[in-house]
Amino acid sequence: MLLRRTWGRATGRPAVWLGLVLGLDAVIAVAGIGIGKSLNLTGLLSAGPLLACARCNGRVTALVAGYALALCAIVALITGGATSQIQQDRFLVVLMSGILAIVVAVIRARRESKLIAIADQVQRAILRPLPAEAGGVAFASHYQSATPGTLVGGDLYDLTMTQFGPRLIIGDVKGKGLDAVGRCASVIGTFRELAYAEADLIKLAEGMDDRLSREMGIEDFVTAIVAEFDSGEVRLVNCGHHPPVKVGPSTSAAGLELLAPERSAPPLGLHPSPVRQDVALKHGDRMLFYTDGLVDARDRAGRFLSLDGRVAAALTAPGLDNCVRRVAGLLLEHTGHALGDDVLLVVAEPLA
């Protein structure tokens, strides 16, 4: 239990790798007992800590090293070779391998922590907090990384006040980590530059695609929605992103409106030909924009989170900040507080 808790806190990754490492050493130990003195396999137990240091922190690697030493002693006692010179040499090999693995794990963990801290600062500078109100529309947002304690991810958003009204972009770049943060910066910078000058939303999306396609690799892409808010309506251009949902003051599960475009378009970077949607958005209506971390989230039975009556009830809760927190709470409850992907939520509501 201690090992599972330490693994979860230290890495935020599934315990499959750790299980394979422990299982491998157990198989080696059983084989060593079965073969006996004729072929000493205990030196191979050093594989456990050496593999563990590739993904575990120093504490978990130390526990794996202790586990390997314990198996080494058990094999020696059962096969009756505990006092032999060769067995002592094998025990020393496992011990030294464990010490080396712990040092490597500590150095790797510290280096990764520094890189994550740098990426966090960069991403905080890129993802500016949304204003509570812009152009007669109220906004609230929530971002949560799948990796505990860090903001590093590929989800992005930005809100810019232009002569055409407030314009919002929400998107998800392919990839994770520092590369994803760099692409997020490129997408947001391009949006901020073109959103002021281009009146037509479709041409804005096509201009972003043209600019980004020159910078990204052949397999890179960005799913995105560009929204422009006006009096009584919102105009949407969707490039391969999950469609937003709209609710009203008396919305039920059946009244949760999925705002899918008439014709789907590929993401930015893959040369989309999007269509524009004009959606009525009056006082009392709310829109939820989100990334795939919401609808691709699975529970323990493998079921996806449905945009059903529970989400509709959360979206109609009093107060936008409370509303977005309730949607995030539904997501965490569905996944058992173990997110498989980053999630970004933005809720918009016209003011009276």
Nearest to 269 by CA among 225, 226, 217: 217
Question: Which range has highest mean pLDDT (152-156, 276-280, 292-296)?
Answer: 276-280
The pLDDT > 70 percentage for the chain reads: 85
49, 98 Cβ separation under 8 angstroms = yes
Instruction: Return the pLDDT at 251.
Output: 55
Note the pTM of the prediction, 2 decimals. Answer: 0.69
Better pLDDT: 56 or 136 = 136
Alpha-carbon dihedral sign for residues 6, 11, 16, 18: negative
HEC profile for the chain? CHHHHHHHHHHCCCCHHHHHHHHHHHHHHHHHHHHHHHCCCHHHHHHHHHHHCCCCCHHHHHHHHHHHHHHHHHHHHHHCCCCCHHHHHHHHHHHHHHHHHHHHHHHHHHHHHHHHHHHHHHHHHHCCCCCCEECCEEEEEEEECCCCCCCCCCEEEEEEEECCEEEEEEEEECCCHHHHHHHHHHHHHHHHHHHCCCCCHHHHHHHHHHHHHHHCCCCCCEEEEEEEEECCEEEEEEECCCCCEEECCCCCCCCCEECCCCCCCCCECCCCCCCEEEEECCCCCEEEEECHHHHCCECCCCCECCCCHHHHHHHCCCCHHHHHHHHHHHHHHHHCCCCCCCEEEEEEEECC
37, 87 Cβ separation under 8 angstroms = no
Q: What is the pLDDT of residues 102-135, one digit of tens each?
A: 999 899 888 877 776 766 666 666 777 889 999 9
CA-to-CA distance for 325 and 160, rounded, in angstroms? 23
Q: What is the pLDDT of residues 54-113, one digit of tens each?
A: 888 888 999 999 998 888 888 888 877 656 777 777 888 888 988 999 999 899 888 877
Residue spans of the domains in the chain: they are 2-121, 127-350
Distances (CA, A) of 133 to 199, 243, 282, 315: 22, 23, 15, 18
Give the mean pLDDT of 218-228: 92
Q: What is the pLDDT of residues 149-169, one digit of tens each?
A: 555 568 899 999 999 999 999
329: its two tokens: 């709470």
Instruction: Return the pLDDT at 7.
Output: 35
Beta-carbon neighbour count of residue 271 at 10 Å?
12
Nearest to 256 by CA among 310, 321, 296: 310
> For residue 263, is pLDDT > 70?
yes
Instruction: Return the pLDDT at 326.
Output: 94
Better pLDDT: 332 or 124 = 332
**Fold observed for domain 127-350:** Phosphatase 2c; domain 1 (3.60.40)
